[in-house]
Structure 1
Amino acid sequence: MDEDILYHLDLGTKTHNLPAMCGDVKFVCIGGSPNRMRAFAMFMHKELRLEGDGEDIKDICARTDRYCMFKTGPVLFISLSYGIGIPSISIMLHEFIKLLHHARCCDVIIIRIGTSGGIGEDCTGSVVITDTAVDSFFYPRFEQVILDNVVTRSTELDKELAEELFNCSKEIPNFPTLFGHTMCQGRLDGALCSFSKEKKNIEMESTVFAAMCGLVCVTLLDRLECDQINLSHDVLMGYQQRPQLLISNFIKKQLGLCDQMS
């Protein structure tokens, strides 16, 4: 291919020096809102003891309003600010993986962080490290129709990575962390609702993520009871930072900076 245009990221192999921009990337964190991911990037900048205060971190994809991307040291942060659910996430993942290829990155660890529903009265606020993502039929698979063929990919995640994340969580006593299966979501509380109260599903993009990377989410509510989040703003913000604390400690351990943990 003479030129590869990563349209939704507004990057290309002829217009950008991708190896210079991202060739040193070893970790990728994929999350939700641009403000949250930029704040996480600034937090990691300080945790990694990099020069400056991190206030000058820029959006690499600033010329497009589809996705946002920030970089600090060997860590890349991607905000899923465009669309929602599997289709838009799949577009981002494919273009992003091609970006890593063109940047000549190797041995990259990709982790999705965010929020999800949970099951059980005591689940709220728990950080869940996903070991397997399942579809609406409880199968550990991601199915996609490609050129009239059904392509099935496994959604069992890297067990060694999950164990390392869990071991890091033992050093953070402020909140519970556990392994869990994550179900890819089917909505039940929309404007046109055809589901009974007895039919529930849990999360939004887990199967397509699990087919390509890892998952760490914090639970915000018991999905066996409701879909409505009634936490206060301050509590919600605190919960959303929990996966970030776990991932920051994991990255510092991988970089040999464990003695600098805050």
Structure 2
Amino acid sequence: MGDYDEEKRVKAPNKNLSSLDVDIFHHLGINSKCKHFNNIFSDIKFVCMGGSHKRMGYLAQYVADELKIDIPAGCALTNISHQTDRYVMFKAGPVLCVNHGIGVNSTMVVLHEVIKALHYSQASDVHVFRVGTSGGLGLEPGTVVLTSEALDGCLRNFLEVPILGEMVKKPSKLDGQLNNKLLQCALKDDDFQIILGKTICAWDFYEGQGRLDGAVCEYDEEKKMNFLKKAYDFGVRNLEMEALAFGYLCSQANISSAVVCCTYLDRFKGDQVTASHETLAKWQDRPIRVVVRYMKQYLNIRV
């Protein structure tokens, strides 16, 4: 495992935090002075996040098995955030598994609190991964896309947030070097591709992603296709709803981050996800398989 490096320490850039005697993480159901707080967060090297709370326990167990993390008999992985129903959080050795819900707003809430916990515990050299799903553009469904650049629905590479009555532009930057290392984790016998591409981080699943099948839609098929073709020509290869938040908050806190998503469909060919549950479950495992390969390399565990 990597040694402690002060220059790589997680640093929440908010001077107001120093005035707090105790910081209450309302949405995680813990606080900065709860029992075992530093033991939970200080040795974290990887944070894996996905939308579904049901997937996080499975994800933590998969990580524990793959990294050969010893879980004592009778001590099953437990939800650290059991005092709240907003989010769940599991720890498997140096890996924290947390759900982020759907969309930038939900993601920002939990990321703020996770980053503060890592900051207080002086965690160092932390990698944050969003491992999830997306709609693809011109790709075979099941392809894994590494986000090279996160864009909003207007193809701008920043997050615009209303703060104190003003719209503030927040830069969003993911780690290109980490993406390159993840690309190198492809194996010859993989039955899927891993590619780099820009990602649209939309505000919602329907109109925000140019779908025609929402409850409300004020554009037609031609306008939809014109926009998707424009996005494709601009380098966009998938659409989801969280990447801008990861790129903004993680880069501000000195954290290396990557968004690793499989595609469920090709949006040029339709709007609805029609693959079977079994196929979707298979595809959904692909991003974490890639990320765990990187973890093994980092931890010097034989792949």
Q: Structure 2 length normalisation: TM-score?
A: 0.79
Contact 1:46 1:53 in 2 (8 A): no
The one of 180, 202, 205 aligned to 2:242: 205
**SS of match in other structure, 2:240:** coil
1:35 matches 2:54: yes
In the alignment, the residues of structure 2 paired with residue 90 and residue 177 of structure 1 have an alpha-carbon distance, to the nearest angstrom, of: 27
Residue by residue over 1:67-113, the C-alpha shift from the partner in whole angstroms, topping out at 9 and shown as x without a partner, is 010110100000134xx211111111111111111222111100101
Q: Percent identical across equivalent pairs?
A: 37
Match of 1:36, as an amino acid?
A: R
Question: Are 1:132 and 1:182, in contact at CA under 8 Å, matched by a contact in 2?
Answer: yes
Aligned to 2:83: 63
Deviation at 1:184, TM superposition (A): 1.2
CA contact (8 A) 2:46 2:128 kept: yes
Q: Aligned residue pairs: how many?
A: 256
Out of 191, 194, 215, the residue aligned to residue 191 of structure 1 is: 215
Q: Is the 8 A contact 1:18 1:102 kept in 2?
A: no
Is 1:174 aligned with 2:194? no
Q: Secondary structure, in 3 states, of the residue corresponding to 2:129?
A: strand
Asked if 1:80 corresponds to 2:100, the answer is yes
Q: Which of 148, 152, 155 is equivalent to 2:165?
A: 148
Q: Which residue of 2 aligns with 1:139?
A: 156
Give TM-score scaled by structure 1 length.
0.91
In structure 1, the partner of 2:44 is 25
The residue aligned with 1:244 is 288
For residues 46 and 132 of structure 1, what CA distance do their matches in structure 2 show? 32
CA distance in 1, matches of 2:71, 2:167: 50
Whichever residue aligns with residue 290 of structure 2, its letter is L
3-state SS of the aligned residue for 1:229? Answer: coil
Shift of 1:41: 1.0
- Once the 2 structures are TM-superposed, how far is the Cα of residue 244 of structure 1 from its aligned partner? 1.0
Partner of residue 110, structure 2? 92
Shift of residue 38, structure 1, vs aligned partner? 1.3
Unaligned runs of 5+ in 1: none
Q: Could you tell me how far apart the structure 2 residues matched to 1:221 and 1:146 are? A: 36
Displacement of 1:165: 0.6
Residue 3 of structure 2 is matched in structure 1 by none
Deviation at 1:175, TM superposition (A): 1.2
Q: CA–CA distance in 1 between the matches of 2:100 and 2:245?
A: 14
Please give the alpha-carbon distance, in whole angstroms, between the structure 2 residues aligned to 1:142 and 1:167: 29
- Pick from 51, 69, 74: which aligns with 2:70? 51
Q: CA deviation at 1:250?
A: 0.6
| Partner deviation per Cα, 1:158-177 (whole Å, 9 max, x = no partner) | 11111011111246622111
**C-alpha deviation, 1:217, in angstroms:** 0.2
Distance 1:17 1:226 in 2: 49
- RMSD, matched Cα: 1.8
How far residue 53 of structure 1 moved from its aligned partner, in angstroms, is: 7.6
Separation of aligned partners in 2, 1:209 and 1:33: 17
Return the alpha-carbon distance in structure 2 between the equivalents of residues 30 and 19 of structure 1: 20
Is 1:10 the counterpart of 2:29 in the alignment? yes
* Residues 172 and 60 of structure 1, relative CA distance in 2, 3 Å threshold: farther
Q: Deviations over 1:14-64 (max 9, x none)?
A: 334321222110000001222322112111111111224897000010110
Q: Report 1:155-170 matches (<5 A).
A: 155-170=172-187
* CA distance in structure 2 between the partners assigned to 1:69 and 1:220 by the alignment: 26
Matched to 2:241, the amino acid is M
3-state SS of paired residue (1:9): coil
Q: Which has the higher contact order (CA 8 A, sep 6+)?
A: 2
Contact 1:48-1:252 within 8 A present in 2 as well: yes
The one-letter amino acid of 2:299's match is L
